[in-house]
Amino acid sequence: MAIMKLFNNNPYFKYILGTIIFMIIVFIDLQIGLFASRTVNLLIRVVYFSIVAIGFNILLGYAGQISLGHAAFMGFGAYLTAFISNNFGLGFLPTIILSGLIPMIFGIVLGLVALRLERLYLAIATLGIGVTIEFVFREWVWFTNGFSGARLSRPEIFGFAFNNSRHFLLLATFILFLVVLFTYNLIRSKTGRALSAMRDSNHAAQAMGISLLKYKLIAFALSAFYVGLAGSLYAYAERYVHPSTWGAELSLDMLAMVVIGGLASIGGSITGAGFLVLVPRLVQDLPVIGGITNINFILTGLAMILVIRFMPIGIYNWFDYKVIQPFYYKMLNFDDPGGDD
């Protein structure tokens, strides 16, 4: 009971608790080797895609702006990390921050495009921009090493090298935790409200003094920063960056992450990242049908459609709405919040 009160009253509590529990598990794993190495790698991937999804959710879920070109920003962040650490040997922190900041500038440019374009037009135009950047990656061999791909090593902080994937998982989780807190603070204050207001009614938002220019730029800049940062973690985690990873398919995956996990929710972002990273791998391992050609694609596609069919508001939001909240209200005797179906 007390724990539950805590959950409800201190909004950070669930994030702190979740992070600590997760980190403890990884620590134990570090000692006794609980997970297969593949599991650890998958978890790392879930972590950096969670950052991607949170950034994308700021853009789509909160601000209501769509982009199908964000994969390019992730690639940009990844290449920057490889480029900076190979050529300038900057430390981990400056490198990942730069890898977020520079895409952010490009994000602002995309935001300017978004000022003119809307909805589907914006979606397809950004898709085109993303593809264009993907082609630039291929041609700028000095920056990306072309089709040979850029290689780099795992990061070092204060002389400690994160060569063990489990160590790196801890590091990445901690960064995700910081990102979650920052985002949580942000969306529950003036900026976050302004973004959501812009999404729900352009006109009313303006009448309340919200500058669409400013907040569209903020939304695109922030999301590009997050995605670039995640790209940086990608580079460190995978130690290899290849130009064909950053195409439209990845951008569409980002879209799927936030819609399937749950729009305008941090938990939804993480859930969605988990879904898109893990489901294709899980179906690959299904014993009986795993051998059928392309079964991984077919089942992943089906799973996506089933989620939309039965949990149209996203997996996390659906659970939150249908299971967790009613549970709180029953346990703590709050008034039912009502809400519509």
- Asked if 312 is part of the footprint of other proteins (rule: CB under 8 A), the reply reads yes
Closest CA to 74 of 60, 86, 88, 56: 56
Stretch of 1-9, 22-30, 97-105, 118-126 lying at the interface with other proteins (CB under 8 A): 118-126
- Asked if 97 is part of the footprint of other proteins (rule: CB under 8 A), the reply reads no
One of 14, 151, 322, 330 touching other proteins (CB under 8 A) = 151
Closest CA to 258 of 304, 189, 212, 192: 304
One of 113, 167, 278, 325 touching other proteins (CB under 8 A) = 113
One of 63, 102, 197, 227 touching other proteins (CB under 8 A) = 197
Helix (H) or strand (E) holding 150: strand 150-151
Sort 215 into a burial class: Cβ within 10 Å, 0-12 / 13-18 / 19+. Answer: buried
- Asked if 300 is part of the footprint of other proteins (rule: CB under 8 A), the reply reads yes
Return the sign of the alpha-carbon dihedral for residues 192, 198, 199, 204: positive
Taking CB under 8 A as the criterion, which residues in 154-183 touch other proteins?
Answer: 182-183
Count other C-beta atoms under 10 Å from residue 322's C-beta. 12
Per the CB < 8 A criterion, the answer to whether 275 and 315 are in contact is yes
Stretch of 2-10, 86-94, 96-104, 184-192 lying at the interface with other proteins (CB under 8 A): 184-192
Taking CB under 8 A as the criterion, which residues in 200-229 touch other proteins?
Answer: 200-201, 203-212, 218, 222
In sequence order, the 6+-apart residues with CB closer than 8 A to the CB of 229 are 51, 55, 77, 96, 97, 99, 100, 175, 179
- In which residue are the tokens 């909240």 written? 325
Binding mask 238-257 for other proteins (x = CB under 8 A): xxx-x-xx--x---x--xx-
- Asked if 91 is part of the footprint of other proteins (rule: CB under 8 A), the reply reads no
- Asked if 302 is part of the footprint of other proteins (rule: CB under 8 A), the reply reads yes
Shortest separation between residue 80's beta carbon and other proteins, angstroms:
18
One of 135, 160, 174, 327 touching other proteins (CB under 8 A) = 135
